[in-house]
A and B are shown apart, each in its own frame.
Chain A
Amino acid sequence: MENLLKKYKQYPNTWDEMFDSKGSIRNVYRDFGSYLKNTDFDSLTQMIDFTSQFFKNQGITFTVYNDNKGVERIFPFDIIPRIIEHKEWRSIERGITQRIKALNLFLKDIYHEQFIIKDDIISGQLIVNNKYFIREMMNLSVPKDIYTHISGVDLVRGKKGEFFVLEDNLRTPSGVSYMLENREITRRLYPNLMPKHKVLPVDNYPQVLYRQLKTLVSKQNPVIVLLTPGLYNSAYYEHATLARLMGVELVEGSDLVLYDHEVFMKTASGLKKIDVIYRRIDDDFLDPLCFNTRSVLGLAGIMESFRQGKVCIVNSPGTGIADDKAIYSYVPKMIKYYLNENPILQNIETYQLGNKDQRKYVQDNIENMVIKKTDGSGGYDMLMGNKASAIEKDKYLKKVKKNPNNYIAQPILNLSTAPCIINGKLAPRCLDLRPFAIYGANKIEVCPGGLTRVAMEEGSLIVNSSQGGGSKDTWIIKK
């Protein structure tokens, strides 16, 4: 393998997780590096075959839309772990906790007194015009004042090695089951390395989640369920896995029934009352009486039960306003406003295209900008200024002009890279990190590590699984 390591060619101007700018192995990867040197390539190939067979047999797949044949796909997995030192992780952890706390206070505020608008920190227009601002949530008190029970904050590393927040996912962030499965398989791949490194465990995530959901209601043994849109949803595998590992029922909308504003599920031994619903369907589909009238995925009348406090919905409806890309740039101000602290994790500079001066700046520097829709996700419908042709740019800017408030721009970052095995060679690929945080009645817990997503195409910055991205296991090591 020594040869392969030598042939490794870093991207210019980019932070590499394993190698420093001079090409020597960073301290945190030292043991792993010597393991690679002493392993022949054939056994690595065997490990790769083993992993793809493993994922396939276990049915660890996600479903791709607009694809007639082979609807289920394996999530590409790279066997070389992404390693982060515990000291660095501690600051990430504190940063995420701080951020989630502030975002949660923000949600409580804008759905009640709206001090942040009155104090002129954020313009009211930006809030009330946003389609994720849900009027049904106004003056509705949620259990224990928690809105964002489960969140996944996407982080990227800039060229100096500093972490930035790319976005906050506060609605129904997915990927946690891949984090668990990645660890499951990595344990099999590196039986000697893992214990030696004292990698912090992630396996207890389902138990932590269950324990924290339990704190939301005062009952001794509340009935908790996971609500899925069903078998054909792209993240169904994840829903089933979480339900299985938490030991709760996986329900669909059609399993639920409402009686006297209490929510019941239909079981073989009659109806059973439900106390907490961890829902994995979007707000819009939750209740046809309040939101999308054509939805059959949720349950008619469930919002009224929620309002009356008869059932607890996790995450609360209406959290979308806080992870919107237009609101994102205000998060540092929120942290200052609500907590009187300085943000630990930095934002990426963001330009509002609704602002004339900023729009002009973006247009002048479009080569270095990425323009996104504020309500977009999954890597769809965005413009990468360095890749797009002149015609594409023109077309996109015309679209922007029609509704500039719906767009933001950010400078294109050189995402950090880590070595991956691509076609028998060791090559750098860009990656991000999505740690998962759980907010219960007593505290916020961040699962050590998270899902490292990898852009499998050479030079690509897009890590979304719907766009062919893959993943790696993430090791937080205590040495």
Chain B
Amino acid sequence: MLSRVANNLFWMDRYMERSYGLLNLIKTNYNSTLDSGDYSSWNKIMQTYLGIEYEKEFTSHQDSISIILYILFDDSNPNSVHNMIIKARENARSVQEHISRELWLSVNKFYLHLSQDNISVKYKKNDPITIVNELLQFNHIYYSVADITQERGNAYCFMNLGKYLERVVQSVDFLSIRISNLNQNEENLYESYFFKNLLISIGGYQLYLKTFKSIFNIENIIEMIVVNESFPRSIIYSVNKLQVHIKRLNEFNKINNRDLIFTVGKLKNSLKYTTIGSIKSKGIDEFLKEIKIALNQISVNINRTYFYQTY
């Protein structure tokens, strides 16, 4: 497989995963503003996804629907959902002969849906949840189509590298922006909806209830997001998946990627022996910093091993 193609497959899935994360956040944050009436909560989403420079422009929006439309459709913003899907599709278009026909169709349909001429006008009158659900459905279709139609070769592995790297970055960001900065004295912390929305936004509400019943505390949340192996958005889950696909690529291509195997194996094992106790004694910020450095090394090594070939 061409390095350029591998790189484009990787980014196709990164953008799809990123749009998925953002759409979920929009949905839950809208829900929580209905409960709390606190519009400042949108700022955190902006920080995570859109970058500080877009925050100012954004304060001019007063109601949730116009904020949501801004995040979805503003073309001047490279991280609007529309732009992400354009990029995912560009990547898909350039690797059409490596992905299944069905997968290409699903990305293209998503793109065509978002590119309709008057879609933001149409959406203005709609319920935001319905809008976002409609879009999320395209992501769900994408994942399932990839699952049942894509051959398990190089292409599938590179797509998964992109997907899980993006997902683990999102989970780390979630912890560092939404949890570690949490002001313990904040009033609404004691409102049950706060935790509910927090957990829903990362897709872990149901699992949390099953595991910890209705007792909400921050340590449990951190534990679930870092080391719960059966939670598909936990850090350890994504790192395990990264390792699986890197090993598979190693079998397919028989090239020297010792550094990559080493860095991902090291991170996996250090997570394996991590407990909420060890995180607390180290401090959540320090712990997250170490993970970020390890992810950075993995990403550099993926680049070096697969995407930039020289002789």
A231 at the B interface (CB under 8 A): yes
Partner of B93, one of A59, A257, A269: A59
Which residues, 239 to 282 on A, are CB-close (under 8 Å) to B?
240-241, 243-244, 247, 249-252, 254-255, 257, 259, 264-271
The CA of A271 and the CA of B3, in the complex, are separated in Å by 10
Return chain B residues, CB-CB under 8 Å to A252.
Answer: 4
Determine if A218 is an interface residue (Cβ-Cβ < 8 Å).
Answer: no
CB pair A231 B3 closer than 8 Å: no
Is there an interface contact between B108 and A250, defined as CB atoms closer than 8 Å? no
Select A265's contact among B2, B96, B104, beta carbons within 8 Å: B2
CB of A267 within 8 A of CB of B309, answer yes
Interface presence of B97 (CB below 8 A): yes
Known: A240-B93, A243-B97, A257-B311. A251 touches B2 (CB 8 A): yes
Within 8 Å of chain A (Cβ to Cβ): is B253?
yes
Instruction: Verify if B6 is at the interface (C-beta below 8 Å from A).
Output: yes
Question: Can you pick out 12 interface pairs between chain A and chain B where the beta carbons lie within 8 Å of each other?
Answer: A58-B108, A59-B104, A231-B90, A231-B93, A244-B97, A249-B5, A249-B97, A255-B4, A267-B2, A268-B255, A269-B252, A271-B311
Which residue of the partner chain B has the closest CB to A252? B4
Residues A231 and B94 in contact in the complex (CB < 8 Å), given A59-B104, A267-B1: yes
B234 partner residues in chain A, CB cutoff 8 A: none
Confirm or deny: A389 has a beta carbon within 8 angstroms of a beta carbon on chain B: no
Q: Which A-B residue pairs are the 5 nearest by beta carbons?
A: A269-B253, A244-B97, A266-B309, A268-B306, A240-B96
Q: Is B254 an interface residue (CB 8 A)?
A: yes
Known: A58-B105, A240-B96. 12 other contacts (CB 8 A): A56-B112, A57-B108, A59-B108, A231-B90, A236-B93, A249-B5, A257-B311, A266-B4, A267-B3, A268-B255, A268-B309, A269-B1
Asked if A270 and B255 make an inter-chain contact with CB atoms under 8 angstroms apart, the answer reads: yes
Given contacts A57-B108, A59-B104, A231-B90, contact A268 B96 (CB under 8 A): no
Q: Is the CB of B93 within 8 A of A266?
A: no
Least Cβ–Cβ distance between A341 and chain B, in angstroms: 41
- The interface residues of chain B lying within 8 Å CB-to-CB of A254 are 4
* Contact (Cβ within 8 A) B6 A268: yes
- Is the pair A268, B311 in contact by a Cβ cutoff of 8 Å? no
Closest approach, in angstroms, between the C-beta of B126 and any C-beta of chain A?
A: 23
The reply on B140 being an interface residue by CB < 8 A is no
Q: Choose one: A59, A230, A241, A249; the contact of B2 (CB below 8 Å).
A: A249
Distance to closest chain A CB from B31 (angstroms): 33
Is the contact region of chain B dominated by helix, strand, or loop, or is it mixed? helix
Q: Closest chain A residue to B9 by CB distance?
A: A268
Q: How far is the CA of A21 from the CA of B97 in the complex (A)?
A: 48
Q: Is B71 an interface residue, CB under 8 A from the partner?
A: no
Q: Taking beta carbons and an 8 Å cutoff, which residues of B are in contact with A?
A: 1-6, 90, 93-94, 96-97, 104-105, 108-109, 112, 154, 158, 249, 252-255, 306-307, 309-311
Set of chain B residues within 8 Å of A236, measured between Cβ atoms: 93
The CA of A252 and the CA of B255, in the complex, are separated in Å by 23
Name the one of B94, B112, B154 contacting A268, with C-beta atoms under 8 angstroms.
Answer: B154
* Given A231-B93, A244-B97, also A268-B1 (CB < 8 A): yes
Q: How many residue pairs between the two chains, A and B, have CB atoms under 8 Å in the bound complex?
A: 72
Whole-angstrom CA separation of A207 from B309 in the bound complex: 31
Smallest distance from the beta carbon of A254 to chain B beta carbons, Å? Answer: 7
Q: Determine the distance from Cα of A231 to Cα of B92 in the docked complex, in whole angstroms.
A: 11
Interface residues of A (CB under 8 A from B): 56-59, 230-231, 236, 240-241, 243-244, 247, 249-252, 254-255, 257, 259, 264-271
Chain B proximity of A243: nearest CB distance (Å)? 5
Residues of A within 8 A of B97 (CB): 240, 243-244, 247, 249-250
> Contact at A268–B253, with CB atoms within 8 Å?
yes
Closest B residue to A58 by beta carbon equals: B105
Complexed CA–CA distance, A250 and B253 (Å)? 19
CA A243 to CA B306, docked complex, whole Å:
22
Residues of B near A271 (CB, < 8 A) are: 309, 311
For the complex, what is the distance from the CA of A240 to the CA of B90, rounded to whole Å? 13
- Is there contact, CB below 8 Å, between B253 and A259? no
Q: Which residues of chain B are near A59, meaning CB under 8 Å?
A: 93, 104, 108
Q: Given A57-B112, A240-B96: A269 and B255 within 8 A (CB)? A: yes
Chain B residues near A58: list those with CB within 8 A.
Answer: 105, 108
Which of A59, A257, A259 neighbours the largest number of chain B CB atoms within 10 Å of its CB? A59
Contact A255 B2 (CB under 8 A): yes
User: By CB atoms of chain A within 10 A, which of B2, B5, B94, B249 has the most?
Assistant: B2
A402 and B47 CA atoms in complex are apart in Å by 64
Chain A residues with CB under 8 Å of B255's CB are 268-270
Write the chain B residue with the least CB distance to A250. Answer: B97
A-side contacts of B307, CB under 8 Å: 268
A266-B112 in contact given A244-B97, A271-B311 (Cβ < 8 Å): no
Q: Given contacts A57-B105, A57-B112, A271-B311, are A244 and B96 in contact (CB under 8 A)? A: yes
Which A residue's beta carbon lies closest to that of B104? A59
Shortest distance between the CB of B23 and any CB in chain A (Å)? 22
Q: Which of B3, B254, B306 contacts A255 (CB 8 A)?
A: B3
Q: CA separation between A249 and B253, bound complex, in Å?
A: 16
Bound together, the chains give a CA A271 to CA B311 distance in angstroms of: 8
Chain B residues, Cβ within 8 Å of A251: 2
Min CB–CB distance A453 → chain B (angstroms): 24
In the bound assembly, the distance between CA atoms of A255 and B311 in angstroms comes to 13
A269 and B254 contacting across the interface, CB-CB below 8 Å:
yes
How many Å lie between the Cα of A259 and that of B311 in the bound state?
Answer: 8
Q: Give the distance in Å from the alpha carbon of A310 to the alpha carbon of B145 in the complex.
A: 42
Closest beta carbon of chain A to B119's beta carbon, Å: 15
- When distances are taken between beta carbons in the complex, the residues of chain A under 8 Å from B2 are 249, 251, 255, 265-268
With a cutoff of 8 Å between Cβ atoms, the chain B residues found around residue A270 in the complex are 253, 255, 309
State the Cβ distance, B44 to closest chain A Cβ, in Å: 35
A255: chain B residues at CB < 8 Å are 2-4
Report the bound CA distance from A259 to B6 in whole Å.
Answer: 22
